[in-house]
Structure 1
C-alpha cells in the first residue's frame, strides 16, 4: 500500500510583553486547553500571512512577525478516536499591536490570557500540545532566525487555475 504522508502545516505566534506570554484558552475534543495563538496554514497564504491572521482571529491583537523561533514536528494521537496527526509548526515571534476590543474571537476560543513563564510551566497538564511550552522555552532562550529563512514561492500566493 502506497500512502503519502501529509503532515498538517500550522503556524504559531509567540507573543511576549512585559515578561508575560499571550495564550488562548480553547475548546478541543480533549476539553478546555491552553495554546499559543496558532492554527492551520490556509491555501494561498505564506506562513507570515498565516501567523498574522491566526493571531488576529484568536486574540483580536494585530501581530507582525519579526523572527522565526523554530520549526517543530510533532505527532498527536487523539485519545477518544485514535486519530493520528502529525503537525509541522512554524513558530514566529514579533510585535503585538493594539487589541481590537469589538472583534469576536475565533470559534472555540474562550479567552486570552497573559501568563508568566512559571504560570505556563505549572499549567502543562492543560497545554494543547508539548509544543506550547517548547516554543516559549526556545523564545526565552533567545532562539531567533530571520523570517526569510522560510521562502514562499509566488506560485503559492496565486489562486488555483
Structure 2
C-alpha cells in the first residue's frame, strides 16, 4: 500500500512597522536561520487563528490578521536531515499588538529582529526558506486579498 502524500500547512505573519519587517532568528537543523513569524496549522484552527497563535508564540506580540498576502507552495529538501518536505503557506499581513514582556519566546526562537527590505534581501542565504523573502516582496508590492477568500467550515472542526 502506498503512503498518501500530504503537504505541511503553515501560516506566516508579515509584520511591517516604519518600513522594517519583523523576522525571528531560530535554531533549525540547518543552523541559525531567519524566518517570518510562522508555524504549522493545528487541528481545529482556521489559518487566521493559527497565524495569530504562532506570531504570539514566536514574538510575544499579539497579531491580528487583516489581509491574506498570498498562498505559496514550496518544496524544500533539507540536506541536514535528508527530508523532502512540501509546504503550503498562508501568509497574512495585519496589526501587531503590544509586547507581553512576561511571555517567553517559543522553543528554538533566539530573538526577534526588525530589518529593512534591503537587509532582508541581503540575508537571503540565512533564510529558512525562499518564502521568507517572497512573502515580504509580495507585501511590498501591495498584494492583499480579503480574509473572506479563505473559508473554514468551523462547524465541522473539533
Q: Assess same fold via TM > 0.5.
A: yes
Between the aligned partners of 2:122 and 2:59, the Cα distance in structure 1 is: 22
Q: Is the 8 A contact 1:77 1:84 kept in 2?
A: yes
Residue of structure 2 in register with 1:49 after alignment = 49
How far apart are residue 120 of structure 1 and its match?
0.4
* Aligned residues of 2:29 and 2:81 also touching (Cα < 8 A): no
> 2:75 — aligned with what?
75
TM-score (structure 2 length as normaliser): 0.97
Q: Is the 8 A contact 1:10 1:41 kept in 2?
A: yes
Instruction: Please provide the CA RMSD for this pair.
Output: 0.9
Distance 1:111 1:43 in 2: 27
Moved over 4 A (4+): none
| Structure 2 Cα separation of the partners of residues 60 and 106 of structure 1 | 9
Secondary structure at 1:86 match in 2: strand
Q: How many residues align?
A: 158
Question: Residue 27 of structure 1 contacts residue 110 of structure 1 at CA under 8 Å; is this kept in 2?
Answer: yes
Match of residue 129 from structure 1 = 129
Deviation at 1:3, TM superposition (A): 3.0
Tell me, in whole angstroms, the C-alpha distance in 1 between the residues paired with 2:75 and 2:136. Answer: 19
How far residue 30 of structure 1 moved from its aligned partner, in angstroms, is: 0.1
Name the SS for the 1:136 alignment partner: helix
What aligned pairs does 1:81-96 form with structure 2 within 5 A after superposition? 81-96=81-96
Question: What runs of 5+ residues in structure 2 fail to find an aligned partner?
Answer: none
TM-score by length of 1: 0.95
2:142 maps to what in 1? 142
Q: Please report how far the alpha carbon of residue 156 of structure 1 lies from its aligned counterpart in structure 2 after TM superposition.
A: 4.7
